[in-house]
Structure 1
Amino acid sequence: MKQFKNILCLLQTGYSEKTVCRVLKIAEQASLSLTLMVSVPVGKEKGADVSETEQVAQIRKQLCEISFKEAQGDALEQLPINISRGKLVSDAIELVSSQSFDLVIKEAEDKDWLDQLLGDDDTQLLRKCPCPVWLLKPDTPMPLKSIMVALDFDHTECGNNTIFNQMLAELGVYFASQDLAALHFVTVYESVKADVLSVWSDEPDQFRRAMENEEFRHKSAALTDLEAELKKKFGGDVYQYISPTGHVVQGVAAEKLAGMVNLLNVDLLIMGTVARTGIKGVVIGNTAESLLSSVKCSVLTVKPDSLAIPGSAS
């Protein structure tokens, strides 16, 4: 499983106290090392003329005043704080690459933030950050109550799909065991090939149904194989205690996954994502980016280890 040890939390100017509380709780619960990077005013904005030392002191004081301070003890006094002046995403990616952070957490922007597809911080972070990114909604309950892992058994851009899907599923098991949350594995299949090929059949409806049934069996078998591997890894008793529920759904991935998020009252969606930039990113996009504009839950995105990240340091 992809182990998280060092977390970088990104905070915009005017950050939510709820987000800070949740990040501190996540780090404390799993004994993780936490570092903050805070975006501060620049140019003619109020507070832009304050020195970095003073800004760090002000931020630390604000953190100590939030409602969660009693549970942290002296931890906030020693918490590393980095300052970003107007380049939060690029500064964060540089820091991740140089200091080996393995998870970035950022408060998710408003649900219509994809309207500025090429310019918003969340999209750029998803595409360029070399480590997993957790976009955290301020109202996400802690502990989590329902977790959903989106699995893709066909995606060729992810290299070895079996290993990648298992890594995503293991993350789901890890977080579900931490919070005693309900865990759901969801995979979606489309019937585009059946629709196209059925045109050449003498009995198109029967042919389409046969192909759709075969695709359903294929996805169900892949999900069963994955669950068997997880039982071996975690042990039957542990796996049975978590008792994940598998779902095989037909339709367009982004639409069906969003529907399952709502149906299952998901608090955290875990899924893989493929980095795309420029025109290809706009025209093709990917399921993760499409979903982020339509789901109300927090989203943890993971890139395949073998995938080169455009725009990040090597």
Structure 2
Amino acid sequence: MIGELGRPKKVLAVIDDTDMQIALKSAAELAKAYEAGLEVIACVEPPQDIAIIARLAGRDKDAIIEEMVTRAQRSATENLKRILPDQAIEPQILVGKAYLNIIRHVAETGCDFVVKAAEPLTGVSGFLHASNDQHLLRKCPCPVWLQSGTAEPAPRRIIAAVDLDNWDAAEPDTLDMLNKRVVEAAARVAHAPGSEIIILHAWDAVGEGMVWAFSDTGDARKAANDYVRETLKIREEAMHRLLETMRERLASSNVVLQPLLARGAVERVIEIQSNIQNADLVVMGTVARTGFSGVFIGNTAENIVNSLQCPVLAVKPEGFVSPLLAAHTS
């Protein structure tokens, strides 16, 4: 077992209409590595103005949607036969908002891992994720792996971004557990031989300027430098504790864990280090509610994701309940 997250038992691939089918390939590799079940869905999203389109085209609205489903079914079946010729998998075609269908499917079937091709916004350079991906980052209860078309199905060099600053965290135990789940999720996908996980923590000495301003020691520079060194030492000790725990927990996986502390704002550090380290994947924690001081929340997580030039795997804290599911069951 890989920590609290456990071994994947059922992986969900969200198939698209591209030739690459990176999500399907990655999901299949993951399922094979853990002898997990593999489910495949394709999402059909009729445009909001489908009624106008149907009227001007002289067609019945429902007939157009039915044809869209038929085409999606045919395309998904053909891609499955091409990518996974030895597996008899029947794709499911779901109609409506993609993120809603994915999250509901996860809840109904018990899938514990979602793999989906990222949706770059048209006309925008860089790796900027469209609304379905943003909703999944915020609201999907299980890990979500947003793959890019040029990526390898099985990543080998993975950054696990953790937050070791629990000084003012509203829920430090939750933050600590989320850090472990991030590393565990990285270990899930690091099944290729020679895989390496770089545990990255972005730190800063936010009180350095105050030490300079309020120092009464006669040597403000030394006081400020001492503050920076003490801050770094605290983060190094926290990293050491996390490494000890995770190396013991992941001993059977043979994955290599490497610590990396880099000073700076978290958004910039993760973006820069993903490029410097030539990362195949960045794994990070995201939450969809407040109360987790120090954890990537809302726009911060999305800004990081949008700045990356590589795929991302998003993980929620233990016990996270999707607001969509909570509303549905209340």
- What's the TM-score once normalised by structure 1's chain length? 0.82
Counterpart of 1:182, as a letter, is E
Judge conservation of contact 1:144–1:179 (CA < 8 Å) in 2. Answer: no
Larger Rg: 2
SS at match of 1:306: coil
- Name the residue aligned to 2:99: 89
CA 1:229–1:252 in 2, change beyond 3 Å: closer, same or farther?
A: same
- In the superposition, relative to structure 1, how do residues 34 and 113 fare at CA in structure 2: closer, same or farther (>3 Å)? farther
Equivalent residue number for residue 305 of structure 2: 292
Hey, what's the Cα distance between the residues in 1 that align with 2:221 and 2:325? Answer: 48
Structure 2 distance, partners of 1:16, 1:178, is: 20
Give distance in 2, aligned partners of 1:26 and 1:260: 25
What residue number does 1:281 align with? none
Consecutive unaligned residues in structure 2, runs of 5 or more? 58-62, 291-296
What is the CA–CA distance in structure 2 between the aligned matches of 1:245 and 1:83, rounded to whole Å? 41
The residue number in structure 1 matching 2:146 is 135
Secondary structure of 1:244's match?
Answer: strand
SS state at 2:248 partner:
helix
Root-mean-square deviation (Å): 3.1
Q: Show the counterpart of 1:218.
A: 234
Within the candidate set 112, 115, 121, 1:102 is matched to: 112
Give 1:108-187 correspondences, 5 Å limit.
108-110=118-120, 112=124, 120-155=131-166, 156=169, 159-160=172-173, 161-187=175-201
Superposition deviation, residue 229 in structure 1: 1.6
**Secondary structure, in 3 states, of the residue corresponding to 2:138?**
helix
Identity within the alignment, %: 22
**Which shows bigger deviation, 26-35 or 123-132?**
26-35
Partner of 2:207, secondary structure, is helix
Point out 4+ residue stretches in structure 1 off by more than 6 angstroms.
113-117
Could you list the runs of 5+ residues in structure 1 that have no partner in the other structure? Answer: 278-283
CA–CA separation in structure 1 for the residues paired with 2:143 and 2:170 = 17
Q: 1:249 Cα shift?
A: 1.0
- Quote the residue 1:6 is aligned against: 10
Deviates more, 1:43-52 or 1:103-112: 43-52
**1:32 matched residue in structure 2:** 36
1:310 matched to which residue of 2?
A: 323
Q: How far apart in 2 are the matches of 1:204 and 1:121?
A: 50
SS in 2 for 1:39: strand
> Deviation of residue 286 (structure 1)?
4.3
1:255-313: CA deviation from partner (whole Å, max 9, x where unpaired): 01111100010001111112159xxxxxx744421111111111111111134433333
State the match for 2:278 in structure 1: 265
Moved more, 19-28 or 243-252: 19-28
1:199 aligned to which of 206, 210, 213: 213
- Which stretch shows the higher mean deviation, 254-263 or 49-58? 49-58
Alpha-carbon spacing, 1:157–1:51, altered in 2? closer, same or farther (3 Å): farther
- Asked whether the equivalents of residues 288 and 301 of structure 1 are also in contact (C-alpha less than 8 Å), the reply is no
Aligned residues: 298
Task: Kindly provide the amino acid, as one letter, of the partner of residue 127 in structure 1.
Answer: R
